[in-house]
Structure formats: structure tokens, C-alpha cells
Amino acid sequence: MSTPLVPGEFAANHAAGVLHEEEQQARAARVVAGRATDAADCAETLAMLGLTVPGARAERRRA
């Protein structure tokens, strides 16, 4: 017996997962920033962890 398909359910679950992942990464980035000794330390640690500052890429493109 299989579960009936609900239109849009996969897309909704995927979107919720992506949003959750972004929230977790933003929290992690804030912790790193709060514990960094300076901007270079922060940037290096974020890079090592594969984290990006939310909105930073968009701001760089505008500049």
C-alpha cells in the first residue's frame, strides 16, 4: 500500500527544508561572527565552514 500523491507536497517540503537550512547557516554565521577576534578571523572561519553571510553576495554585486 502506498501513500497517495498530493500535488505540490514535494515542492512545499523541499522549500521548507531549504528555508530551515538557510536559517541554520545564518545562526551559525552569527555565532562565528560573535566569537571571531577580528574581521579576517571571521571571514577565514566562515570560509573554512563553508558558510556565507546572508545577503553578502547580493551586496557585493551591487557595489
pLDDT in tens, 16-44: 999 999 999 999 999 999 999 999 999 99
**Number of domains present in the structure of the chain:** 1
Does the pTM surpass 0.85? The reply is: no
Q: Could you tell me if residue 2 is inside a domain? A: no
pLDDT at position 57 is 52
Q: Could you tell me if residue 3 is inside a domain? A: no
pLDDT at position 6 is 79
Q: Could you tell me if residue 1 is inside a domain? A: no
Instruction: Return the HEC string of the chain.
Output: CCCCCCCCHHHHHHHHHHHHHHHHHHHHHHHHHHHCCCHHHHHHHHHHHCCCCCCHHHHHHHC
Domain hosting residue 27, numbered range: 9-62
Q: Could you tell me if residue 4 is inside a domain? A: no
pLDDT at position 52 is 80
